[in-house]
Amino acid sequence: MIKIKTALIGMLLFILVPPTQASEKGIITESGYSEVMLDLVNNMQNILFGIMIEDYGQVSNIAEDIAYHPGPELEKRIALLNKLKLEAMTFKLHEDRVRQNALKLMKAADKADRTGTLKQYANLARSCTECHITYREKVRSFIKK
């Protein structure tokens, strides 16, 4: 419940804070996503471990963590979305896809459904990769060192 609340507040802030405030000169020195992504890949590894030892409680908890994972700091996120311009929409759709697939994985794990859990794990991993195909290098190219 608390996680859902945090996610909602995050979303609300995102709607309320005017984008121009964040990225003054449009220069970004980091995407803000690096740490977020390292957490995510850690979670994916721990889920896989959970599947292998058939600890579906663990799988379900971590899948929920992925679904409601905190994003980068708001200011960094807004700066990046500004850089992406119209593509910000698609970028956010990829984030939504990950959230939905993580929740499906959570539900399959809650039922201790072996086949379903494996299937949803694969779908979740695919939704990570689908964003990377388009955006990993692109986002990196925005970063001025």
Residues engaged in binding ligand HEC (CB under 6 A): 31, 33-34, 37-38, 40-41, 44, 66, 91, 94-95, 98, 128, 131-132, 135-136, 139-140
User: Are the CB atoms for 33 and 72 separated by under 8 Å?
Assistant: yes
Sequence-distant (≥ 6) Cβ neighbours of residue 8 within 8 angstroms: none
Question: Cα angle vertex 20, ends 32, 141, to 5°?
Answer: 40
User: Are the CB atoms for 71 and 36 separated by under 8 Å?
Assistant: yes
What is the smallest separation between the CB atom of 43 and ligand HEC, expressed in angstroms? 7
Residue type, 54: E
Decide whether 92 or 111 has the Cβ nearer to ligand HEC: 92
What is the smallest separation between the CB atom of 12 and ligand HEC, expressed in angstroms? 20
Secondary structure (3-state) at 143: strand
What is the smallest separation between the CB atom of 9 and ligand HEC, expressed in angstroms? 20
Decide whether 32 or 56 has the Cβ nearer to ligand HEC: 32
Decide whether 56 or 135 has the Cβ nearer to ligand HEC: 135
